[in-house]
Structure 1
């Protein structure tokens, strides 16, 4: 049994804790409140994760430190840098492998499927934040100060996930009401299941082949937003609903009064044309395959109906 420390208790953090606990590992979940819901056998600790020395003490003796944190979307530029620096400090002082949950923002607008070799070329504030986080971690890894790796998924889908296939859409669909989606309803888009993020995160934290580079989470074949809504309706056993596109001017106007919508507007380019993730490397290296799409959607529908 080895010790594992997870920062953050969102859908990915909770599932990572559950997977590790089921394997018989000692698992500690760090949140500000220390009251996060966790799996049986998982210990919750109250800690400000921006406090590098305190986080290092919590990670003392740990095999891996997992960055599953998720600052408020509109505060990434201010909240991520000190948190990321504290993670680096904790990893260096404790000797734990730093395994970070990343995303695709650092690649910017792309014209072809993204692989791990796709250059980081962010075209947004949040993309620059994420790219810098990885570059800082990689620099310390290459200097021999830490061991670091990162997993990157596309837009999430899963129970409790902050998702374009989530709170804004599923309840309306279940009620038989039409929905509106960002930009093009018909551009191919990769969706990543939160459970698959956790499975890859656990794998890379323990496998030295993973260290010193990023990995794409095994994800199902791309589905347009229109197709995904139709798939959800089928999974729910309800009639198909009308799918419209949110007018760009409406999104801009809403962004004037809602900071979260303003941030969504910045990232809406990902839905203007095909945005496709290639996860061949992780599948071949770790023998992981994505959870079947139908199973993912059935789980999402069941979660919403249970609320």
Structure 2
């Protein structure tokens, strides 16, 4: 794909965690927009068939926390989309090395790092969330998310890498496992009473 990009001048978008709920949708949207996509998964194969597009999609195997392997997978990239999501219990252990690996890989490639984030770092908010909403996390996971975001913004301030952080609230839809999907839509689809989805875990959880 790099040779094709060099001949055509087209830009390559690398999606790390391309087999996940967010990642494979990012792959699909990028392909729909006509971009060349390099989809990075742990085994280089496990990508939903519907996201495949002959000639414009390259599958690459790499561990999202392996800096050397990820840098190799991101060579020649215009943008690196970090969509990898470790299991919730291992966020503290697994998220920092993933973020560091992606930051280094994007920096070496001269690419923009686009990080898929959530809104846990804002805590309980009464009103719209915007880019100026202060970080007031009320859980250990929210504190971690705030710390990771600050690391990214600090790297950008040092001009080590260009950064975009995309934040979404609770995800729902086909193929997505989430609190809303399970507690609201899941119950409604079975004709049961819908209860309010639980809040983020309390601090220290």
TM range (shorter): 0.7 to 0.9
Alignment-derived partner of residue 52 in structure 2: 39
Whole-angstrom distance in 2 between the partners of 1:64 and 1:133 = 19
Following superposition, the deviation at residue 117 of structure 1 comes to 0.4
What SS class does the counterpart of residue 143 from structure 2 fall into? helix
Computing the radius of gyration over CA atoms, which structure comes out larger, 1 or 2? 1
8 Å contact from structure 1 (residues 32, 46) kept in 2: yes
Whole-angstrom distance in 2 between the partners of 1:119 and 1:145 = 24
Whole-angstrom distance in 1 between the partners of 2:196 and 2:136 = 26
8 Å contact from structure 1 (residues 11, 159) kept in 2: no
Q: 1:109 aligns with which of 124, 143, 147?
A: 124
Alignment-derived partner of residue 266 in structure 1: 202
Alignment-derived partner of residue 98 in structure 2: 83
Whole-angstrom distance in 1 between the partners of 2:202 and 2:147 = 18
Whole-angstrom distance in 2 between the partners of 1:176 and 1:100 = 37
8 Å contact from structure 1 (residues 31, 45) kept in 2: yes
TM-score by length of structure 1 reads 0.57
The total of aligned residue pairs comes to 188
Q: Cα–Cα, structure 1 residues 135 and 183, in superposed 2: closer, same or farther, change >3 Å?
A: closer
Following superposition, the deviation at residue 169 of structure 1 comes to 4.3
The Cα offsets for residues 171-226 of structure 1, whole Å up to 9 and x where unpaired, read as 44333233433359xxxxxxxxxxxxxxxxxxxxxxxxxxxxxxxxxxxxxxxxxx
What SS class does the counterpart of residue 11 from structure 1 fall into? coil
8 Å contact from structure 1 (residues 4, 25) kept in 2: yes
Alignment-derived partner of residue 6 in structure 2: none
The Cα offsets for residues 38-93 of structure 1, whole Å up to 9 and x where unpaired, read as 32232222211111121111111100000111110121111101111111111111
Alignment-derived partner of residue 23 in structure 2: 13
8 Å contact from structure 2 (residues 11, 36) kept in 1: yes
8 Å contact from structure 1 (residues 5, 62) kept in 2: yes
What SS class does the counterpart of residue 101 from structure 1 fall into? strand
More moved, 131-140 vs 40-49: 40-49
Alignment-derived partner of residue 92 in structure 1: 107
Following superposition, the deviation at residue 165 of structure 1 comes to 2.9
8 Å contact from structure 2 (residues 139, 201) kept in 1: no
Q: Cα–Cα, structure 1 residues 174 and 3, in superposed 2: closer, same or farther, change >3 Å?
A: same
Alignment-derived partner of residue 39 in structure 2: 29
Q: Cα–Cα, structure 1 residues 60 and 122, in superposed 2: closer, same or farther, change >3 Å?
A: same
Q: 1:137 aligns with which of 152, 163, 180?
A: 152
Alignment-derived partner of residue 272 in structure 1: none
Aligned CA RMSD, in angstroms, stands at: 2.0
User: Structure 2 matches for 1:189-200, cutoff 5 A?
Assistant: none
Alignment-derived partner of residue 86 in structure 2: 71
Whole-angstrom distance in 1 between the partners of 2:77 and 2:47 = 20
Whole-angstrom distance in 1 between the partners of 2:131 and 2:158 = 21
